[in-house]
Amino acid sequence: MEEFAYWYDGNLVQGKTLELAIDDPALLYGATLFTTLRVYQFRLDHPLTNWQAHCNRLQTSLESFQWQPPDWQRLRQGAELLLQTFPVLRITLFPDGREWITGRFLPADLAERQHKGVTAWVAESSFLCASFSPLQRSLPCHKTGNYLAPWLALQMAQRSHHAQEAILTNPIGNWLETSTGNLWGYRDNHWWTPPLQAGILPGLLRTQLITKIRCQNEEVAEAPWNPDLVETFEAIAYTNCVIEIIPIHTILRNASKKTYPSAHPGFAQLRRLFIDPNFRLSENF
């Protein structure tokens, strides 16, 4: 299969362009749903691939928006075809039931980032409007195609601050998530993560990790990340289904900089969940 191939509306397409009608809501308003998954061992049913959970999350959003569901069997057919070449799949659904699947490779520097960590910039205000409101995702409990705010935050982090990630905040300064993943902080011998009620994406890997850690009778605290709490963390990281766990070794906030260890012992607790042969979770998550 060529590197530039994708699945669209029941067909494998060679090339880098997709034709949409000029009045398509996906084009006009970003009216799509999507999910991005990493395929482990070329298997959609591998517990770390978590295929059914990705489909369940899409289905929940489809029902909330009253959109037409896709042909799920055809969707899986396209995913099975693309995973032969690509370890990362992005599945996009349109309001009328069309499906679009694209594939990509893992980041070339992923192992280095997992080991050494990255720098993140706290996007406390957008400086794009008179209200100086922070950049936040639209409809945060759903993974929609309108990702302009996180994308802008990431661009600002990279171009203006030479950081690799951006941390999104709410109007009172609480940290929510990064532009691409969920946040984790370590203190008091356990991990902390912002609660869903704060207005963050219910990340599937976040759910997996919380469930697995608690099944081992260990604690995960879910609490708002106000500035006072953030100051107490010994280590900070972010996660998503593709990159797994990335330490954040430097936080840039206003004119200040704070560093954290990339080799904190707490990271071993999270990482071992990816090599544990008993890593099995219910498909309800």
pLDDT tens, position by position, 44-75 = 999 999 999 999 999 999 999 999 999 999 99
- The pLDDT, as a whole number, for residue 274 is 82
- pLDDT band for position 1 (cuts 50, 70, 90): low
The mean per-residue pLDDT over the stretch 164-190 comes to 96
CATH architecture of 110-274: Alpha-Beta Barrel (3.20)
Q: 159 in the Ramachandran plot: left (φ > 0), alpha (ψ -120 to 50) or beta? A: alpha
Q: What's the CATH number for 5-104?
A: 3.30.470.10
The mean per-residue pLDDT over the stretch 129-148 comes to 82
The mean per-residue pLDDT over the stretch 145-170 comes to 95
- The pLDDT, as a whole number, for residue 132 is 58
pLDDT tens, position by position, 35-49 = 999 999 999 999 999
Q: What phi and psi values does residue 170 have, to the nearest 5 degrees? A: -95, 175
- The pLDDT, as a whole number, for residue 278 is 57
Is the pLDDT assigned to residue 115 strictly greater than 70?
Answer: yes
The mean per-residue pLDDT over the stretch 217-235 comes to 96
Q: What phi and psi values does residue 169 have, to the nearest 5 degrees? A: -130, 165
- The pLDDT, as a whole number, for residue 272 is 86
Residue 271 contacts residue 230 (beta carbons within 8 Å): no
Q: Judge if 5-104 and 110-274 fold alike in CATH terms.
A: no
Domain ranges of the chain: 5-104, 110-274
Rounded distance between C-alpha atoms, residue 253 and residue 176, angstroms: 14
Is the pLDDT assigned to residue 280 strictly greater than 60?
Answer: no
Instruction: Give the range among 11-15, 126-130, 208-212 with minimum mean pLDDT.
Output: 126-130
Higher pLDDT, 138 or 62: 62
Is the pLDDT assigned to residue 124 strictly greater than 90?
Answer: no
Residue 99 contacts residue 8 (beta carbons within 8 Å): yes
Instruction: Give the range among 66-80, 190-204, 265-279 with minimum mean pLDDT.
Output: 265-279
The mean per-residue pLDDT over the stretch 161-190 comes to 96
Is the pLDDT assigned to residue 284 strictly greater than 50?
Answer: no
Is the pLDDT assigned to residue 283 strictly greater than 50?
Answer: no
Higher pLDDT, 124 or 210: 210
Rounded distance between C-alpha atoms, residue 258 and residue 256, angstroms: 7
Could you give the count of Cα atoms lying within 13 Å of 125 in the half-sphere of its Cβ? Answer: 9
pLDDT mean across residues, the chain: 92
Residue 198 contacts residue 174 (beta carbons within 8 Å): yes
The mean per-residue pLDDT over the stretch 144-165 comes to 94
